[in-house]
Amino acid sequence: MIKALKRKTATDSIRARRFSLRAPVRYRAADGGWQEGRTRNISRSGVLIHTDRALPPETVVDLIVELPPVIPGEVPPQVVCRGRIVRIVSHDATGALVAAAFTQYTFGRSGDPLAASET
């Protein structure tokens, strides 16, 4: 049996556009409680976060990213996500930079029932 090889196209190698964003993030692995960190950048496919400790690749994490308010005075939007750690970018005495790929996410506001049930 002969298998056809998929030809690599230009869109296969294009990464999702990243947006520089320094925002609070809460995260938890299956084995622990909520921890706090800060995002460095975010895209439709994942997020780079600064954490207190390195999380090993393939760790499943829940994340709540607090986005800046769209209109001053409004409740800021947030992204409630599930993902997995795909790599440790750096690790030193100040903490770690870890990249997480999203497996699912929803948008909401901190007063939303879904967001409240995640905390």
* pLDDT 10s digits, 45-71: 999 999 998 999 999 999 999 988 888
Query: CATH classification of 18-118, choosing from 2.40.10.220, 3.20.20.220, 2.60.120.10, 1.10.287.1080?
Result: 2.40.10.220
CA–CA separation, 82 and 91 (whole Å): 23
- Give yes or no for residue 111 having a pLDDT over 90: no
Residue 64, Cβ neighbours under 10 Å: how many? 19
Name the amino acid, one letter, at 91. H
Per-residue confidence (pLDDT) for residue 13, from 0 to 100: 53
Per-residue confidence (pLDDT) for residue 116, from 0 to 100: 40
Per-residue confidence (pLDDT) for residue 39, from 0 to 100: 96
Say if CB 99 and CB 90 are below 8 A apart: no
